[in-house]
């Protein structure tokens, strides 16, 4: 199979120019003006951009969490990713403390293998560190999973203690792999939640005040201290606010190797969404919480100046009417037996944390970043694709438009106009966190290793064709 993409404006993280791209089999084999080749399919890209396939460095597809399971599978999740222009998913493998790392890795991989339509890999969650876990982590790294994930939040579930954090970072340093981290101080969260509940503050609007910016900044400082003392390379996921970004940027100034990620809900939404009445705010409960508008503005500035390297989604899909309602103050009457295993009176602390967005990230970033002039096209490609490829050992196979690279390409139509709706989404949730939001631009054609996988909002690819990617060591961005 060969594809010729003609006359597109090729945009990479470094340059843009008009040319043809020729793909044979799974690979890009020629880039140039007026290529004199024959192809099985010719795609006219005049007036359109040709971007490298986008990479989402932070998704949850299979996630046992807060008494339930995230809603998408690799069937719905990879189709949604591809429709939205994302050709590679990096999923968080999040075992419980009692699960063996290798068993967990095989379980998570088993959910993707033979099902996913796009390529995928994992950040290996370290939720317990002892001799046995260490042996297994070494084997997992040998298999090409070159990043770990730790949680400073969620004590009693995924969270690790400081001794385990230290040991994980030491191992990562020795192996040359990156430790990705959710940075919120779990004890500060627990104490603040308890105080708010004692004051009768039980609705979703109290989620953000229960995890204020100081809680996240403390988590970031904490990790930076450990990274500085061990010399390990780290990457802070879903950074939501100015104090957190500033803590990480200051550590970087001191020589700490730290990548900074933000996620699309923080760039488009603000804290007023979780304050919507009649429990509707639960749709926007995620951690760290979506912040006040001033933080959103700051994140855009820090993306534009290169302080923040990546924009992921933290796609963590839960249905509103059932799963999010586990935290409804009446849930003990309505769905208690099924969804409130704690048996306590329900409140915001029982709302499963997370927002679906794997399908919307690229279009939202383009619409609210590029068309508004907040970021330029090169930055857009860098933060949505190339930087993640470099950070996580996938470049130049992924995240670029180069001869020899995988033919993962997005022919993007900047003239498209539409609105996001649950009625038209591919993701398997009963709501969209971006209902009614306007979109300017969307993928016209999306290819994965030389096969067309999506056209104009519809999945046309092959389930099960996605591959587990064997990754190398990080490259500095």
CB of 390: closest distance to ligand URP in angstroms? 22
81 close to 43: Cβ distance less than 8 angstroms: no
Sign of CA dihedral 82, 463, 114, 25: negative
Backbone angles phi, psi at 25, to 5 degrees: 60, -125
118 close to 466: Cβ distance less than 8 angstroms: yes
d(CA 297, CA 200): 32
Tell me the pairing of strands 409-419 and 438-448: antiparallel
Q: Which of 267, 285, 293, 144 is nearest to 209 (CA)?
A: 285
In the bound state with ligand URP, the residue whose beta carbon lies nearer, of 5 and 299, is 299
| Per-residue mark of binding to Zn ion, 127-166 (x: CB under 5 A) | ----------------------------------------
CB of 356: closest distance to ligand URP in angstroms? 11
Instruction: By CB under 6 A, tell whether 316 contacts ligand URP.
Output: yes
* Both tokens assigned to 348: 């915001």
402 close to 11: Cβ distance less than 8 angstroms: no
In the bound state with Zn ion, the residue whose beta carbon lies nearer, of 146 and 357, is 357
Q: Quick one: CA torsion of 451, 366, 244, 189, rounded to 10 degrees?
A: -70
Return the exposure string of 19-43: e unless at least 16 CB atoms fall within 10 Å of the residue's CB, then b: bbbbbbebebbebeeebeeebeeeb
Q: Which of 147, 90, 75 is nearest to 384 (CA)?
A: 90
CB of 77: closest distance to ligand URP in angstroms? 14
| Per-residue mark of binding to ligand URP, 233-252 (x: CB under 6 A) | -----x--------------
| Per-residue mark of binding to Zn ion, 180-209 (x: CB under 5 A) | --x---------------------------
Distant-in-sequence, close-in-space partners of 246: CB < 8 Å, separation ≥ 6? 217
- CB neighbourhood size of 132 (10 A): 12
CB of 11: closest distance to ligand URP in angstroms? 30
Q: Which of residues 52-81 bind ligand URP (CB under 6 A)?
A: 60
In the bound state with ligand URP, the residue whose beta carbon lies nearer, of 183 and 410, is 183
| Per-residue mark of binding to ligand URP, 12-51 (x: CB under 6 A) | ----------------------------------------
Residue from 31, 93, 133, 286 that binds ligand URP (CB under 6 A)?
A: 286
Sign of CA dihedral 258, 261, 266, 268: positive
Q: Give me the residue label for tokens 């490298």.
A: 52
Number of residues engaging Zn ion in binding (CB under 5 A): 2
CB of 20: closest distance to ligand URP in angstroms? 40
- CB neighbourhood size of 200 (10 A): 9
d(CA 223, CA 62): 26
For ligand URP, which residue has the nearest CB? Answer: 353
| Per-residue mark of binding to ligand URP, 167-206 (x: CB under 6 A) | ---------------x------------------------
Q: Which does 471 bind (CB under 5 to 8 A by kind): Zn ion, ligand URP, none?
A: none
**Span of 6-14, 307-315, 366-374, 433-441 interacting with Zn ion by CB under 5 A:** 307-315
Q: Which of 232, 231, 235, 191 is nearest to 214 (CA)?
A: 191
Q: Which does 353 bind (CB under 5 to 8 A by kind): ligand URP, Zn ion, none?
A: ligand URP
Q: Which of 129, 228, 221 is nearest to 171 (CA)?
A: 129
* Both tokens assigned to 392: 């996580």
DSSP annotation of 400: S
In the bound state with ligand URP, the residue whose beta carbon lies nearer, of 31 and 94, is 94
9 close to 49: Cβ distance less than 8 angstroms: yes
In the bound state with ligand URP, the residue whose beta carbon lies nearer, of 238 and 328, is 238
Instruction: By CB under 6 A, tell whether 287 contacts ligand URP.
Output: yes
Residue from 56, 205, 233, 314 that binds Zn ion (CB under 5 A)?
A: 314
In the bound state with Zn ion, the residue whose beta carbon lies nearer, of 179 and 409, is 179
Instruction: By CB under 5 A, tell whether 56 contacts Zn ion.
Output: no
In the bound state with Zn ion, the residue whose beta carbon lies nearer, of 314 and 336, is 314
* Both tokens assigned to 461: 């690819």
Beta strand segments in 71-134, E? 86-93, 119-125
Per-residue CA distances from 193 to 204, 209, 287, 321 (Å)? 12, 9, 13, 24
CB of 355: closest distance to ligand URP in angstroms? 7
Q: Which does 286 bind (CB under 5 to 8 A by kind): Zn ion, ligand URP, none?
A: ligand URP
In angstroms, how far is the first alpha carbon of the chain from the final one? Answer: 34
In the bound state with ligand URP, the residue whose beta carbon lies nearer, of 85 and 354, is 354
Instruction: By CB under 6 A, tell whether 441 contacts ligand URP.
Output: no
| Per-residue mark of binding to ligand URP, 333-372 (x: CB under 6 A) | --------------------xx------------------
Q: Which chain residues interact with Zn ion by CB under 5 A? A: 182, 314
Q: Which chain residues interact with ligand URP by CB under 6 A? A: 60, 182, 238, 286-287, 314, 316, 353-354
């Amino acid at each position: 199979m060969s594809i010729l993409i003609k006359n597109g404006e090729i945009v990479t993280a470094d340059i843009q120019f008009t040319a043809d791209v020729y793909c044979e089999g799974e690979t890009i084999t020629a880039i140039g003006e007026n290529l004199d080749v024959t192809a099985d399919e010719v795609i006219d890209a005049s007036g359109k951009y040709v971007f490298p396939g986008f990479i989402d460095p932070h998704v949850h597809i299979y996630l046992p969490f807060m008494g339930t399971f995230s809603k998408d599978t690799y069937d719905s999740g990879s189709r949604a990713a591809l429709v939205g222009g994302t050709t590679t998913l990096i999923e968080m493998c999040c075992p419980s403390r009692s699960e063996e790392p290798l068993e967990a890795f095989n379980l998570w991989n088993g959910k993707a293998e033979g099902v996913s339509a796009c390529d995928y890999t994992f950040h290996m969650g370290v939720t317990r560190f002892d001799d046995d876990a260490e042996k297994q982590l070494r084997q997992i790294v040998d298999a090409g999973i070159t990043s770990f994930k730790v949680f400073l939040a969620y004590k009693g579930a995924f969270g690790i203690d400081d001794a385990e954090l230290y040991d994980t970072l030491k191992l990562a340093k020795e192996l040359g792999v990156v430790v990705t981290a959710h940075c919120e101080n779990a004890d500060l969260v627990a104490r603040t939640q308890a105080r708010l509940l004692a004051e009768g503050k039980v609705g979703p609007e109290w989620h953000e005040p229960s995890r204020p910016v100081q809680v996240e900044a403390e988590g970031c400082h904490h990790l930076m201290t450990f990274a500085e003392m061990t010399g390990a390379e780290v990457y802070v996921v879903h950074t939501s606010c100015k104090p957190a970004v500033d803590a990480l940027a200051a550590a970087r100034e001191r020589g700490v190797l730290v990548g900074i990620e933000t996620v699309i809900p923080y760039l488009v939404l603000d804290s007023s969404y979780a304050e919507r009445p009649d429990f509707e705010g639960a749709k926007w409960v995620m951690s760290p919480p979506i912040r006040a508008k001033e933080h959103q503005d700051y994140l855009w500035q820090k993306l534009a100046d290169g302080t923040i390297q990546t924009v992921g989604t933290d796609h963590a899909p839960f249905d509103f009417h059932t799963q999010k309602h586990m935290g409804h103050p009446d849930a003990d009457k309505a769905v208690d037996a099924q969804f409130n295993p704690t048996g306590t009176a329900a409140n915001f602390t029982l709302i499963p944390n997370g927002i679906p967005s794997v399908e919307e990230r690229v279009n939202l970033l383009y619409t609210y970043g590029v068309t508004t002039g907040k970021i330029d096209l090169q930055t857009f490609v860098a933060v949505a694709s190339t930087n993640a490829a470099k950070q996580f050992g996938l470049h130049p196979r992924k995240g670029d438009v180069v001869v020899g690279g995988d033919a993962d390409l997005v022919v993007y139509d900047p003239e498209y106009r539409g609105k996001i709706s649950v009625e038209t989404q591919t993701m398997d949730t009963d709501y969209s966190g971006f209902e009614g939001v306007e979109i300017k631009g969307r993928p016209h054609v999306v290819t994965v290793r030389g096969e067309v996988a999506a056209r104009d909002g519809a999945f046309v690819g092959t389930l099960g064709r996605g591959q587990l990617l064997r990754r190398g060591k990080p490259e500095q961005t």
